[in-house]
Copies of this chain bind each other. A is one copy, B any other.
Amino acid sequence: MINNKDISAEEKILNAARRIFENKGMSGARMQEIADEAKINKSLLHYYYRSKQLLFEAVFKTAFNKLAPQINLVLNSDQSICDKIINFSNNYTSFMLKHPYLPNFILQELNRNPDFVKELISIDNFPNIINFKIQIEKAVSEEKIRPIEAEQLFINILALNIFPFIGAPLLKGFINASDKEYKKILNKRKTEVAEFIIKSIKL
């Protein structure tokens, strides 16, 4: 049980804003709704964050900073390719099962405002493919994996891990699964995805 009085207003606002923004997006969210969710007066939102835009950016960057390190584990750790794929698929899916709205939220807003990426790139530890590319090219030339471009493999890894969360409502419909059944399917993917990728790139 979380005691609300132990959490500062500023933090309560950020949490409430996260829930509302994740659910409704920047344009769909209402400042009054966020205030209600945080159980504080609307003026406090502006006292701490000045404007809706700044509050949104605070939420967005917090969310993005949860995602980036996981991507970096694939791109910039010194694990073997197989270990990267196995660990990322397992860790990412586990994490996202707890925050299922996160990928959708981030991609939604980036699609709406592509220039926002440029701002993100300038921050520290923005994931970059360069080291991963070297690793893949080396593995290919050493015939440890079949020939494949690092970019394509990287897109595949992210696609297989992230899409099941973004596409959840549609996929549930297509495969006729209840929430519970779909969650079970996602859980299986913790190992299934890695197996699928490795089977494809091994020689």
Contact = CB atoms under 8 A, between A and B. Distances in A.
Nearest to A104: B111
Contacts of A175: 129, 151, 154-155
A173 B104 contact: no
Nearest to A127: B174
**How often does this chain occur in the complex, in copies?**
2
Interface in A144-203: 146, 148-149, 151-152, 154-156, 158-160, 162-164, 166-177, 185, 188-189, 192-193, 196-197, 199-201
Contact of A117 (B149, B162, B173, B192): B173
Interface residues of A, number: 62
A4 to B, nearest CB: 28
Interface stretch (A7-15, A19-27, A54-62): A19-27
Contacts of A188: 149, 152
